[in-house]
Amino acid sequence: MNRNVATIPQDLIAALKKAKHVVVFTGAGVSAESGIPTFRDSLTGLWERFNAEDLATPGAFRKDKELVWGWYEWRRMKVLQAQPNPAHIAIAALATLVPKLTIVTQNVDDLHERAGSTDVLHLHGSLHSPRCATCGQAHILPPGIPVEPEGGRRLSPPVCICGGLVRPGVVWFGEDLPVRELRQAFEAAQKCDVLFAIGTSGLVQPAARIPSLAKQAGACVVQVNPTSTGLDRECTWSVRGAAGEIMPNLLQAAFGRTA
């Protein structure tokens, strides 16, 4: 039974206070209040006539590597210019308030880490770890924040010492997820007492299975999202609101502190 709630229910607070193992599963919405467009927000500038799912594919990179590499560098600039928001900070603090916390993210930004979270399981890779498409060698990006025009531009991807093209270090549609991270995420979901699904539309597989795995294993599943999603039916509670407000309020209610 999914309860849509605008305020934080007492039984949720009680469940969190006695939880031994909490999983926080995040999507693009957790970075929205840091100014990072969500994955399904419509694209702008050079990419406005595309949707993200079409650009985030090996085929798009083969077809127009400058368009795709320019998009990822523009996104990387946005992330480097952004700051973690109160949701990231509260999630980092949660690690000091519960016996065990596992953070699983679909996001390719490093805002959880910059808020102080460690051992974050990135299911879809990272903007900050490009690699050679041929030999797999990690590519070291120049230090600092790339300067890209607001509307974006086409950029030639770097070339590896082996002659191969450097590609973004993300998992594209049609590509397998990293085996270790996915296994650890599924295991944590099946062992935890409480799982938070924060800022995700629950559309992308196999990551979207994580909340139902937790529910089937008997965990309380809490969704934090301003809108209804396909995950609603998996959730014990769907707390309607922005993560940057809900998460600090939840920590304050349960533990008397927000960060």
Integer angstrom CA distances of residue 56 from 28, 111, 187: 15, 20, 27
Residue 82 found at the interface with ligand BV8 (CB under 6 A) = no
- Catalytic residue selected from 88, 112, 122, 124: 124
Partner that binds at residue 164, options ligand BV8, Zn ion, none, CB closer than 5 to 8 Å by kind: Zn ion
Annotated catalytic residue 21: no
Residue 188 found at the interface with ligand BV8 (CB under 6 A) = no
Q: Which stretch binds Zn ion (CB under 5 A): 40-48, 127-135, 197-205, 216-224?
A: 127-135
CB of 173 to Zn ion, least distance (A): 23
Burial of 12-41, coded b for 16+ CB within 10 Å and e otherwise, reads beebbeebebbbbbbbbbbbbbbebebbee
Residues 88-127 as x/- pattern, contact with ligand BV8 by CB under 6 A = ------------------xxx---------------x---
Residue 243 found at the interface with ligand BV8 (CB under 6 A) = yes
Identify which of residues 176 and 256 has a Cβ nearer to ligand BV8 in the complex: 176
Binding site residues, Zn ion, CB under 5 A: 132, 134-135, 137, 160, 162, 164
